[in-house]
Amino acid sequence: MWLLAGARAWARDAALHYACDSMLWLGEPPRGVPGGTAREAHKWLGRELDLLIIDAWAGFDVEAFGAASGALRGGGLMLLLTPPLAEWPRYADPEYARIAVHPYAPEQVRGRFLARMVHLLRSHEVRVVSEGEALPSWQARPTVHPHDWRTVDQQVALEAIAQMAQAAVPAPLVLTSDRGRGKSAALGMAAAQLLRDGMQRIVVTAPRLAAVETLFTHAARGLPQATVDRGRLVLGKSGCLEFFAPDELAHTLPAADLLLVDEAAAIPTPLLERLLAHYPRSVFATTLHGYEGTGRGFAVRFQRVLTERAPGWRSVRLAEPIRWPDRDPLEQFVFDALLLDAQAADDAQVRNATVGGCRTERVERDALPADETTLRQLFGLLVLAHYRTSPLDLRHLLDGPNVSVWLMRWQGQVVATALTVREGGFDAALAQAIYRGERRPRGHLIPQSLALHSGFVAAPLLSGERIMRIAVHPIAQQRGLGTRLLQAIIEQAQRDGLDFVGSSFGAGAELLAFWQRQGLLPVRLGLTREASSGSHSVIVLRPLSAAGEQLFTAVRARFLGHLPALLSDGMEEVDADVAATLLEGARADDVAALSAQDWRDVDSFVQGWRGYEVCQVAVRKLVQATVRTTALDTKQQELLQRKVLRHEPWEMVIAALGYSGRAQALAALRSAVKQCRNAAM
């Protein structure tokens, strides 16, 4: 990588000096030069380039920088066009329009990320060509491999897939690699070999169809006689390789001899668990350090699931690069610049961390670009804890004008971290426009959602702190560190005179329980599943002021009042334990709200004097109030969720829970409701 640092017109003219046949220009390319805006970088993925030009004057898009760099093959050249290095951190980068949130203007965004870039460029001794210097000479020296060439690692992977596919008692296989190691190509080669050997149907899934283009290309290359259409390869009358989107696959579960999952880290773990349970022959492949988000969090989360449910699973790591040499300097610079290989503190350094021995602080972000150890450890924690932590998240962490970074340190090592953002505080006119759906200022998730979706026009008037992310080192979890960090954030918000603290995340029973223990209770549930988590998003809130208390009471009451209807009409797939956790909170009031006639209806149903349908309103009131506090087994919990709270037809309930018929299901329901009645009395 070379920098052309100087006036933009000079840098653009100088870059054209190196033009060649296999090139790409990102960021307002000159007429006749192949390329486009940085946002369009994904269109060129899968190509191999000799020359890549990134015009940072048009905005330094960190994700495009990471994505496109992987298309450059060994012997190629990347040209980065920048202002003079000393001036670049102060440049009004057009990308700041993506980072600024209301009421901040783009020019108010600080250039901490670019300051760190400049520091890294100098420390990596990247060649900088300044305006007025003679342009160095360069000529592409690409390495071209034959189509059937394979690395040793790929051959190991192919043999492992073949062994698993033929095993009498198969166990899942996990393929991991950094980008550019031929992981997807190996999956395609393996599919071709297995179809040649007589396997009939292989199903493949990935976050999107474009992600498996390389897989299908290599499968087709190994099966020249096959017919290939978009997302489908057919060999003769019986052999087939077919793509399904992850949610469709998890819902339909079509028959298959083998399942291939590519970029598994970008697929929610609940979906992977469902696929794992249904397909005994399966390969889960993912990139550990990639521009779209890292797979290290996947490695921690999903491997725990594998160990529990498929203890014989095997892992294969592909380490040898395909398009460039091992320890390539450009790859290492991209890793460092975007923290693609950031890791949390070593387990041994924080294994003995205790709440009392940790120091909690809200970090001065101006110091972070020069404190590489702290930055890597805190970003590494975020990577482990959250799906698809991307390079843009790093830039928001450093430059977001409303972002705060919190750390807990144990003997100097980062053991927990949180990111928070300041939201709300709008004037009445803007709050009204948000409520009517006429304005949607960037950022401010909680107040805007409570106004637009829940119907509370006062929400944007209040100011609060949203906890965007919170993470505790895996080796130090379940010790109260997360609780103490959250308490520190709440205490600071109170000192700052804010009206509320809140958060939004993919609803899971364990996660909900954590927030509810800290007094942050659910006030809204998203109507559809989030692609990133596979779960419905939930907003939790804790009031801090009188105005916050007034809003919270009203929003919470509306939420609890509407939730049973939501769960029974269009949101039936919400997990039973999540639904029950969401319904917690109004127990005493709900029990007290049962009238004398309601109690008579409940008794009549329990005794078998009257049918469920004529008593269901009273039964639902009772179950909603007591289902989480009654000692019920898992099957009883699910029965009450399905029949009482979600109004599922008897046929669905019987099939889902394995009852012999309606009489058995009804008897089980009477027994479960009787336990709820006894617990409430």
Q: What is the pLDDT of residues 349-365, one digit of tens each?
A: 999 999 999 999 999 99
pLDDT of residue 74: 85
pLDDT attached to residue 315: 92
Report the CATH number that the domain containing residue 253 is assigned in CATH. Answer: 3.40.50.300
- Tell me the pLDDT band of 385, cut-offs 50, 70 and 90: confident
Domain identity same for 419 and 461: yes
Domain-terminating residue out of 318, 333, 368: 318
In this structure, the answer to whether residues 187 and 297 fall within a common structural domain is yes
Does 390 share its domain with 539?
Answer: yes
Shared domain for 108 and 194, answered yes or no, is no
Where would I find the beta strands (DSSP E) of 249-394? 258-261, 282-287, 314-318, 358-362
Check the CA dihedral 194-199-205-211 and report its sign: positive
Any domain includes 135: no
Domain shared by 241 and 388, yes or no: no
Start-to-end C-alpha separation, the chain: 74
CA triple 551-555-561, angle to 5 deg: 150
Which of 299, 318, 337 represents a domain boundary (last residue)? 318
**pLDDT beyond 60 at 294:** no
Q: Model confidence over 88-129: pLDDT tens digits? A: 999 999 999 999 999 999 999 999 999 999 999 999 989 999
d(CA 216, CA 258): 15
Q: Are 296 and 355 within one domain? A: no
The label of the residue with tokens 């988590």 reads 533
Is 330 within the bounds of a domain?
no
- Assigned domain for 576 exists: no
What CATH code is carried by the domain that includes residue 50?
Answer: 3.40.50.11040
How far apart, in whole angstroms, are the C-alpha atoms of residue 184 and residue 212?
Answer: 7
Same structural domain, 600 and 533: no
For 625, list phi and psi in degrees, rounded to 5. -80, -25
Out of 130, 165, 180, a domain closes at: 130
- Residue of 60, 103, 109 lying closest to 83 (CA atoms): 60
Same domain, 363 and 505: yes
CATH, residue 485: 3.40.630.30
Asked if residue 481 belongs to a domain, the reply is yes
Number of domains making up the chain: 4
Two tokens, residue 167: 């095993």
Domain-embedded: residue 639: yes
Residue 301 belongs to a domain? yes
**CB count in 10 Å sphere of residue 171:** 16
The whole-number pLDDT of residue 291 equals 46
CA 274 to chain centre: 18
pTM of the model: 0.80
Q: Tell me how long the chain is.
A: 681
**Mean pLDDT along residues 583-610:** 75
pLDDT per position as a tens digit, 533-575: 667 889 999 999 999 999 999 999 888 877 876 776 556 667 7
Same domain, 119 and 163: no
Q: Name every residue whose Cβ is closer than 8 Å to that of residue 305 and which is 6 or more positions away in sequence.
A: 269, 272, 273, 276
For the stretch 41-97, pLDDT in tens is 766 666 788 999 999 999 999 989 988 888 888 889 999 999 999 999 999 999 999
Q: Considering the domain boundaries, does residue 518 fall inside one?
A: yes
Residues 671 and 605 in one domain: yes
577 found inside a domain:
no
Alpha carbon distance 526, 449 (integer Å): 10
Find the domain containing 597 and state its range: 587-680
Q: How far apart are CA 509 and CA 581, in angstroms?
A: 6
Residue 548 and residue 513 share a domain = yes
Do 558 and 600 lie in one domain? The reply is no
CA distance 180 to 342: 18
Q: Are 248 and 275 in contact (CB under 8 A)?
A: no
Rg (CA), the chain: 28
Task: Find tokens 């917690």 and name the residue.
Answer: 584
Look at residue 253 in the predicted model and tell me its pLDDT.
93
